[in-house]
Amino acid sequence: MLWPVRPCDFLLAHREDYATAYEGFSWPRPTRFNWVLDWFDRIAEGNDRTALHLVEEDGRRTRLTFAEMSARSNQVANWLREQGVRAEDRIVVMLGNQTELWETALAAMKLRAVVIPATPLLGPVDLRDRIGRGRARHVIVRAEDTGKFVGIAGGFTRIVVGGPAGGPVSGPVGAPTEEGDTRDGDWLPYEDAYTRPDTFTPHGVTHADDPLMLYFTSGTTARPKLVEHTHVSYPVGHLATMYWIGLKPGDVHLNIASPGWAKHAWSNLFAPWNAEATVFIHNYTRFDPARLMAEMDAAGVTSFCAPPTVWRMLIQADLSLLRTPPREAVAAGEPLNPEVIETVRRAWGVTIRDGFGQTETAVQVANSPGQLLKAGSMGRPTPGFTVTLVDPVTRVPGVDEGEICLDLSTYPVGLMTGYHGDPDRTAEAMAGGYYRTGDIGARDADGHLTYVGRSDDVFKASRSGDIPFRMGLSD
């Protein structure tokens, strides 16, 4: 079903009026919903505006319209169905910023398959964990990464993008070796998909709570958590992210993020295409700020999101090289130095705005367009999220400084269903009627929130008097 009233229109209409947007917004809660079939394909019909614009290091450019993306994803969906991909099958997708990444994401949603995003930086040990715990039945990878799957057990379909597999091929998929592993089977060429029909007929209906994505978080002290999102929690939940960035139809949005991590889906898929904006990507092996700004000018970038590490490198260059600065500039990941914000403000006349969220959620707290910005503050709760600070010891809610929690009495659409296969960890995170982020924040009299640190770090530091500060997208 198509959204009866487009909630994005309400947020777009009040993109610089936070009070009205926050008080007036309510999450759409359809019982049946498929973001691609019910939203993307509808806006893509006959739409010749650019949906995806890629620029390679050697200067090659790829531009695909919304209509072309819809048709190509139909071809990929039809071909994947022929290869045995069924509803709720898990697919490990390990691709770079290439057209096939977006085509596969759209196609998988049409098939109601579940995507397990994976960064190409992963090695065999991490991939074995993702395939095993994720119960993956298919993998889609670049040719240069196929060797990482040598010896990984499991009868999963292997699909290669961009040429023949780079690793040795010996025996059928699932054939056991003496060590109990499996031999590599034939890799199926992804490019065969482009010979299939560009119209698609879905099988069955998509329920709103059907699983859509399984994200492995980047935990460092334990095995990564496996976050489960549905066909509404990320596609619809990132209406809040669209609002934070300040996106609107016709924008050209550049977000620097590695495929495989949640921020890539946030700002390179759902948020911009919710706003009917163009996703722009400049691929490079070595960061060159002058080249990046030249490409931003050439593409007409209107909104720019980057992690603090990129912002810090960027200001080492002559920012005046960017003749037409973006209208919107945002950052997430960790706190930006005040001098970075001021340098960009002087050069471009725009202020970098922070946002806070997790793999488990869309953006929860942010400095959205038009808000009063306070130094050090990450802003106020985004539309659709009720944020409460809870004392981490007494569990008393409504304190001025405490754990950043989401009130579950009005369960926000942009929150995961839980940690897949781990009911105990899910119950712990959702205890007492609140989703606990594990992050500590402080709220001032005007409702602005400042990030203090991870709850464990703050507890330890409180004993020594050394309170840490960290802000941004966290696990």
Residue after which a domain boundary falls, among 207, 225, 260: 207
pLDDT value, residue 472? 43
> Both 197 and 255 in a single domain?
no
- Rounded to an integer, what distance in angstroms lies between the CA atom of residue 418 and that of residue 30? 19
CA dihedral 387, 392, 395, 399 (to 10 degrees): -50
**147: containing domain:** 31-207
Query: What rounded mean pLDDT belongs to the chain?
Result: 90
Specify the range with the lowest mean pLDDT, choosing from 22-26, 361-365, 455-459.
455-459
pLDDT value, residue 165? 75
52 neighbors 272 (Cβ within 8 angstroms): no
Please count the structural domains in the chain: 2
Share in percent of the chain as helix, strand, coil (round to 5): 30, 25, 45
Give the bridge partners for 32, in sequence order: 207
- Whether 225 is covered by a domain: the verdict is no
- Whether 351 is covered by a domain: the verdict is yes
Mean pLDDT of 251-271: 96
For the record, the structure tokens of 90 come out as 């898990």
- For 393-450, the pLDDT digits (tens) are 899 999 999 999 999 999 999 999 999 999 999 999 999 999 999 999 999 999 999 9
- Rounded to an integer, what distance in angstroms lies between the CA atom of residue 95 and that of residue 121? 10
- Whether 153 is covered by a domain: the verdict is yes
For the record, the structure tokens of 171 come out as 């025996």
> Both 397 and 251 in a single domain?
yes
Mean pLDDT of 229-235: 97
- Whether 15 is covered by a domain: the verdict is no
> Both 140 and 288 in a single domain?
no
pLDDT value, residue 401? 96
Per-residue pLDDT at 49 exceeds 90: yes
- For 132-165, the pLDDT digits (tens) are 999 999 999 999 999 999 989 888 999 999 988 7
Q: Which amino acid is at 369?
A: P
> Both 300 and 184 in a single domain?
no
Of 273, 272, 255, whose CA–CA distance to 264 is shortest?
255
407 neighbors 433 (Cβ within 8 angstroms): yes
CATH number, domain containing residue 59: 3.40.50.12780
Give the bridge partners for 361, in sequence order: 415
> Both 263 and 165 in a single domain?
no
In order, the DSSP letters of 47-82 are: --SEEEEEE-TTS-EEEEEHHHHHHHHHHHHHHHHH
Per-residue pLDDT at 103 exceeds 90: yes
- Whether 14 is covered by a domain: the verdict is no
> Both 168 and 259 in a single domain?
no
Per-residue pLDDT at 467 exceeds 90: no
Give the bridge partners for 161, in sequence order: 142
> Both 255 and 191 in a single domain?
no
- Whether 127 is covered by a domain: the verdict is yes
> Both 259 and 341 in a single domain?
yes
Residue after which a domain boundary falls, among 164, 188, 207: 207
> Both 181 and 65 in a single domain?
yes
> Both 158 and 288 in a single domain?
no
How many CB atoms are closer than 10 A to CB 391? Answer: 13
pTM, two decimal places:
0.91
- Rounded to an integer, what distance in angstroms lies between the CA atom of residue 438 and that of residue 152? 34
470 neighbors 335 (Cβ within 8 angstroms): yes
pLDDT value, residue 164? 84
